[in-house]
């Protein structure tokens, strides 16, 4: 069973080590290291954990990071002023606006106010439009991390049926686009909470990406024997245990490869954020 598990933890570490080496050795970084500015509004506990993990990873890779922690009472104008300040800061290469924002703030207006040239999270409408139209640009970190995982373990994608479950603009929609892009060439189905025949769809999927945010929702008996299963879900059960969207122990018996939760996709999201930041800095310092 262990051989089937895709260690996002190890693959992310390899990528972070490569980035650290790049930051230490490439000429352009003699001027200054890359820098990420993380903006967090309020005190949503999971966001605090994610942001501190991102900052720690930056530090280990030789990337400067600075946290702009704004109170939950922050107004839309104050948030936009902060994002404007970062847009105009010459030493900031990447800006991460941690979501969700408190409910009185508009996420779409805040993302639109970011500098698309520093949008290392890939969530600005311009970055998403570039993805849709096949132009180079920053890709959202979680789906980009999934593509990196699939590539690293050598999954043969062209012509395969990939089923993405979940339609968020952070994961599901960009994931579907990346899997159907030239080069990946999957035949993609996008399912969501209103999809009627989910078990049947799952049974026909060679690659299944679960990003619906429901604990252990995907049953082992729904998995096509030999499928590659990527579990993007991170759900906390009442007993405190963290589980994915897939019923892992059952799915393991049928999948040819499967990501665990934790230690699967999560570390990849962070590694891709670092990669986008280093790429942005390289472009700006060249």
Catalytic residues: 54, 98, 121
Q: How far is the CB of 270 from ligand GUN (least distance, A)?
A: 9
Q: How far is the CB of 28 from ligand GUN (least distance, A)?
A: 26
Distance CA 127, CA 120 (A): 9
105 binds ligand GUN (CB under 6 A): no
Q: Which of 7, 247, 259, 269 binds ligand GUN (CB under 6 A)?
A: 269
**Of residues 98 and 276, the one with the C-beta less far from ligand GUN:** 98
276 binds ligand GUN (CB under 6 A): no
Residues 91, 97, 99: CA angle, nearest 5 degrees: 165
Contact between 205 and 224 under an 8 Å Cβ cutoff? The reply is yes
181, 203, 177: which is closest to 190 by C-alpha?
A: 177
Question: In Å, how far are 107, 167, 196, 224, 260 from 202, measured between CA atoms?
Answer: 32, 16, 12, 7, 18
121 binds ligand GUN (CB under 6 A): yes
**215 DSSP 8-state letter:** T
Q: How far is the CB of 31 from ligand GUN (least distance, A)?
A: 27
Site residues (CB under 6 A) for ligand GUN, limited to 72-101: 96-99
**For the chain, counts of helices (H) and of strands (E):** 10, 10
**Of residues 146 and 162, the one with the C-beta less far from ligand GUN:** 146
Residues 172, 57, 244: CA angle, nearest 5 degrees: 35
Contact between 228 and 256 under an 8 Å Cβ cutoff? The reply is yes
Three-class secondary structure of residue 148 per DSSP: helix
Q: How far is CA 217 from the centre of its chain?
A: 21
**Of residues 198 and 268, the one with the C-beta less far from ligand GUN:** 268
Number of residues that bind ligand GUN (CB under 6 A): 9
* x/- track of binding to ligand GUN for residues 161-180 (CB under 6 A): ---------x----------
Distance CA 152, CA 67 (A): 32
55 binds ligand GUN (CB under 6 A): no
**Of residues 141 and 229, the one with the C-beta less far from ligand GUN:** 141
Q: How far is the CB of 56 from ligand GUN (least distance, A)?
A: 16
67 binds ligand GUN (CB under 6 A): no
Q: How far is the CB of 101 from ligand GUN (least distance, A)?
A: 9
Q: How far is the CB of 160 from ligand GUN (least distance, A)?
A: 25
**Of residues 37 and 252, the one with the C-beta less far from ligand GUN:** 37
100 upstream amide cis, omega within 30 of 0: yes
Site residues (CB under 6 A) for ligand GUN, limited to 132-151: 141-142
Contact between 183 and 225 under an 8 Å Cβ cutoff? The reply is no
Distance CA 54, CA 102 (A): 20
**Of residues 97 and 147, the one with the C-beta less far from ligand GUN:** 97
Residues that bind ligand GUN (CB under 6 A): 96-99, 121, 141-142, 170, 269
């Amino acid at each position: 069973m262990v051989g089937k598990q895709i260690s996002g933890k190890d693959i992310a570490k390899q990528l972070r080590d490569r980035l650290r080496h790049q930051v230490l050795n490439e000429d352009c970084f003699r001027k200054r290291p890359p820098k990420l500015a993380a903006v967090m509004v309020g005190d949503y506990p999971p966001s605090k954990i994610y942001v501190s993990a991102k900052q720690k990873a930056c530090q280990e890779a030789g990337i400067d990071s600075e946290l702009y922690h704004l109170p939950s009472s922050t107004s839309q104008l104050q948030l936009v002023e902060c994002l404007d300040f970062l847009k105009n800061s010459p030493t900031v290469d990447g800006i991460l606006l941690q979501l969700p924002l408190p409910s009185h703030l508009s996420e779409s207006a805040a993302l639109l106010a970011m500098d698309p040239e520093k949008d290392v999270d890939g969530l600005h409408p311009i970055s998403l439009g570039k993805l849709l139209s096949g132009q180079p640009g920053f890709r959202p970190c979680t789906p980009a991390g999934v593509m990196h995982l699939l590539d690293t373990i050598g999954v043969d994608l062209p012509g395969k049926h990939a089923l993405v479950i979940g339609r968020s603009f952070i994961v599901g929609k960009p994931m579907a686009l990346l899997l159907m892009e030239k080069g990946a060439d999957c035949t993609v189905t996008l399912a969501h909470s209103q999809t009627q025949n989910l078990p049947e769809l799952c049974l026909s999927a060679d690659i299944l990406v679960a990003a619906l945010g429901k604990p252990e929702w995907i049953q082992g008996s729904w998995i096509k024997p030999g499928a590659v299963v990527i579990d993007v879900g991170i759900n906390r059960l009442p007993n405190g245990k963290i589980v994915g969207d897939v019923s892992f122990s059952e799915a393991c018996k049928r999948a040819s490869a499967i990501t665990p939760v934790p230690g699967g996709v999560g570390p990849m999201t962070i590694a891709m954020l670092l990669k986008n930041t280093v790429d942005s800095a390289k472009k700006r310092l060249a």
